[in-house]
Structure 1
Amino acid sequence: MPLFGNTFSPKKTPPRKSASLSNLHNLDRSTREVELGLDYGTPTMNLAGQSLKFENGQWIADMGLSGGVDRREAQRLRRRNQQLEEENNLLRLKVDILLDMCQRPWVSGSCILPSSLRPPPSPT
């Protein structure tokens, strides 16, 4: 153990092995893609029986495989459904008003109906 000497002496590193023994790096791009499987295609997934594919930054329903409805069509159907529900509510309100209008004259005894539908006058 030297007094003023360096006690640290690392082992000599072994020489590196040769690069790659494979010749795949010499192949052209298309052959390399076929050999290494780098052609992934569009990402697809299946959620609850609905097949989706990723295109232009958005997940779109794949029409061919599952027969699903695409996003724009679903949005159009939702708008149409809401429109029909509003129309249905308006028609229900009109029917309620007409029934109410028709019941009031019956109570007072002066309903405007054709004579064939009018009840006979009560003998008083």
Structure 2
Amino acid sequence: MEIAEITPAHVDAVVALWEEAGLTRPWNPPAADLQRALDGATSTVLGGFRDGRLVGTVMVGHDGHRGWVYYLAVAGAERGAGRGRQLMTAAESWLVEHGAVKLQLMVRGSNAHVVGFYDRLGYADADVRVLAKRLD
């Protein structure tokens, strides 16, 4: 799998992948999230391509200290082949190159099965409570 930054030409494929992976929510338009990441000075979306076809993504960004990962998705037919691990390694490398010293991510409570994946990659529960407020 080759990993490269997503471009606006990939928007439809990215959104379709995120929908297939169950990452989208009706109140949070995925194309708008993607565009914000692509337009940001401290963020991007990395895509995993196999034979020219998008098979995975990871959104990555940082605040100058902490890096964040969102929208890690791997196409159903590609799961179990190490694609998620490759994308997370690429995200970690991108963050190191951009000066982040820590990586954080959030897993929805309804997505508990993915916690084992992150455990195997060396991530641990940070024992913090995430609070949120919609600003739109």
The TM tier, using the shorter chain, reads under 0.3
The structure, 1 or 2, with the larger RCO (C-alpha pairs under 8 Å, 6+ apart) is 2
Bigger share in strand: 2
TM-score, length basis structure 1: 0.19
TM-score (norm 2): 0.18
